[in-house]
Structure 1
Amino acid sequence: MKFAVLADIHGNALALQAVLQDMQSQCVSEAVNLGDFFSGPLQARDTADMLMAQDFLSIRGNHDRILIEQPPEEMGLSDRAAFDQLSPQHLQWIKALPATRTVFEEVFLCHGTPSSDTTYWLERVEDTGTVRAAKLAEVLKEAEDISASLILCGHTHIPRVLRLPDGRTILNPGSVGCPAYDDIAPAPHHMQTGTPNASYAIVEKQNGEWITTFRSIPYASDAASAYAVQNGRHDWAHALRTGWFER
């Protein structure tokens, strides 16, 4: 069993295209997608068309949920920018997706944690805004009711893999299209990978063990940054160009 793990594309069609091409070069045709497909000042419509054509096993993330639950006039800038590009058909596709699901009998998909699409699983944010790795006890608490041998999550945009004491693996593939961002919850903080590359992972089960390969793919990030500038989002432009939110 071998497949790609994608997450947090955020409307970056150029990054998604680069990942799809890299998957082809790695002879990987199957993939799962962990949500947050469109939100951002980039190419939501083109991203939607590509994803619907691929028909990957997918779940929706918190920003996808906002697109189908929140009135447009109440959306934040990134969600509204995506909403204005998407067709009713695209939104209906999101509505049909679950928040979590189990695939291949032993692979569990969620966006944040099994119970929340807005909670970080493998990282924690202190009251000061400092981001740290989650402690083992914190990780295990969220995994109590999940029996799958491979647990996949996204949301933080940070590539990580953890092996739990009982042998289960938890994997975050990083973000295909948004390498750095800021947020105000649970405290104001920055998440940043320090590279503009598109990030995803390839997993394969061999001799009963999950093998993870992280892929960091250069692409036309300057062109993606230019889309953000055109849409008045210089914060996104800097993050896309450098992989850092802070200057």
Structure 2
Amino acid sequence: MKIAVISDIHGNLLALQAVLADIARQGVDQTVNLGDSLSGPLQVAETADLLMAQGFPTIRGNHERQLLALLEPPAAQLDPLDSDGYAASQVSPAHVAWLKALPVSLELNRDIWLCHGTPDSDLQYWLETVVPGFAQGAGPGVRAATADEVAARLGSATHPPVVLCGHTHVPRMVQSGEVLIVNPGSVGLPAYDDDHPYPHVIENGASHARYAVLEHTRQGWQVDLRAVPYEHLAQARVAARNQRPDWAHALATGFALRSAG
């Protein structure tokens, strides 16, 4: 069995197209999508159309939940400078129906389970831990989670041998007891800043689109964390035209704007 894992596309059509072309060369049996597919100032509707046509097993991320909440009656006035607000203004009724039908987690088979953040939350980082101090200039405000932290977020429920998660945009894998946890990274956004639960930045340091390929071998699961080049500067220009300099900088450089320099 060979599986491609994509996540956190964020409406970046060119990155998704480059990743799908790379996947086609890998001879995979199945591709799965861990959510946060549309939110952002790029090609929201076109990305939704492509994903719907592909029909991959797909789950919701926090941004699907947030986008749909904006469209619930009484509908809020949409802010085009907000990632979810912009995406909500671009989706069609067919896109909304597709998003509403997505599960929050999915047992793909007896070996693989999908979630966006952790089993308990679509907002919690699993393989990273946010720490205070960024506002005082003490590093990025995030570090790799300890083995105990990873295990605690796994919880007491029984899980298949492989759990796939996204949300942090950081490609990483951790063995926690009998469970291998894999984050493929982000297809569409290599860096961002956030304030939950403390201010911090996530930075991959390069503009590549990220995804993972997992293959079951006699020795166990082989994991290939892949980085695919694409026309990232063209997407940075789109973000700039849509008045999102933070996205433009992240797409162009792989670094968050407020840590530049």
Pick the TM interval, shorter chain.
over 0.9
Q: Aligned partners of 1:28 and 1:83: how far apart in 2? A: 32
Q: Residues 78 and 86 of structure 2 are in contact (CA less than 8 Å); yes or no, is this contact kept in structure 1?
A: no
d(CA) in 2 for partners of 1:180 and 1:89?
30
Letter of the 2:24 partner, please give it: Q
Which of 139, 145, 149 is matched with 1:138 structurally? 149
Q: Which one-letter code corresponds to 1:115 in the other structure?
A: D
Instruction: Summarize the Cα distance change of 1:198–1:72 in structure 2 as closer, same or farther, 3 Å threshold.
Output: farther
- Deviation, 1:26, is 1.4
Moved more, 71-80 or 45-54: 71-80
Tell whether the 8 Å contact from 1:3 to 1:29 is kept in structure 2 after alignment: yes
- Whichever residue aligns with residue 157 of structure 1, its letter is H
Deviation at 1:104, TM superposition (A): 2.0
CA distance in structure 2 between the partners assigned to 1:92 and 1:44 by the alignment: 15
- Secondary structure of 2:77's partner? helix
Q: Is 2:182 aligned against 1:177? A: no
SS at match of 2:230: coil
> What amino acid maps onto 2:77 in structure 1?
E
Question: 1:32-68 CA deviation, whole Å, 9 max, x = no partner?
Answer: 1000000100001110001001111110000011111
In structure 1, the residue matched to 2:166 is 154
Match of 2:130 in 1: 125
SS at match of 1:57: coil
Change (3 A) 1:222 1:184: same
User: Any idea what SS the aligned residue of 1:38 has?
Assistant: coil
Corresponding position: 1:203 with 2:207: no
Unaligned runs of 5+ in 1: none
Which amino acid letter does the alignment assign opposite residue 199 of structure 2?
A: P
Q: CA deviation at 1:163?
A: 1.3
Distance 1:107 1:29 in 2: 14
Match of 1:11 in 2: 11
Q: Please list the CA deviations of residues 72-92 of structure 1 after superposition, one character each: whole Å capped at 9, or x if unmatched.
A: 426671111111111011011
For 1:91 and 1:195, how far apart are their aligned partners in 2?
32
CA distance in 1, matches of 2:29, 2:112: 17
Deviation at 1:146, TM superposition (A): 3.6
Question: In structure 2, how many angstroms separate the alpha carbons of the residues matched to 1:27 and 1:198?
Answer: 19
Secondary structure of 1:84's aligned partner: helix
Q: Which residue of 1 aligns with 2:107?
A: 102
CA distance in 2, matches of 1:154, 1:147: 17
Contact 1:222–1:241 at 8 Å: present in 2 too? yes
**Given the superposition, is the C-alpha separation of residues 44 and 74 from structure 1 closer, same or farther in structure 2, using an over 3 Å criterion?**
closer
Tell me which amino acid in the other structure corresponds to 1:152: L
The match for 1:217 is 228
2:194 alignment partner AA? D
Kept in 1: contact 2:162–2:179 (CA 8 A): yes
Pair 1:40-2:52 in alignment: no
1:186 maps to 2:191: no
After TM superposition, give the deviation of residue 28 of structure 1 in Å: 2.3
Query: 1:29 Cα shift?
Result: 5.0
Aligned length: 246
Please state if 1:82 is matched with 2:87: yes
Q: Which runs of 5+ in 2 are unaligned?
A: 135-140
Show structure 1 runs of 4+ deviating over 4 A: none
Distance 1:146 1:44 in 2: 36
Q: What is the aligned-residue RMSD (CA, Å)?
A: 1.3
Identify which range, 168-177 or 135-144, moves more after superposition: 135-144
Structure 2-normalised TM-score?
0.91
Distance 1:8 1:72, change over 3 A: farther
Counterpart Cα distance in 2 of 1:187 and 1:25: 40
Amino acid at match of 1:161: M
Indicate how the Cα distance of structure 1 residues 180 and 72 shifts in structure 2: closer, same or farther if over 3 A, else same. Answer: farther
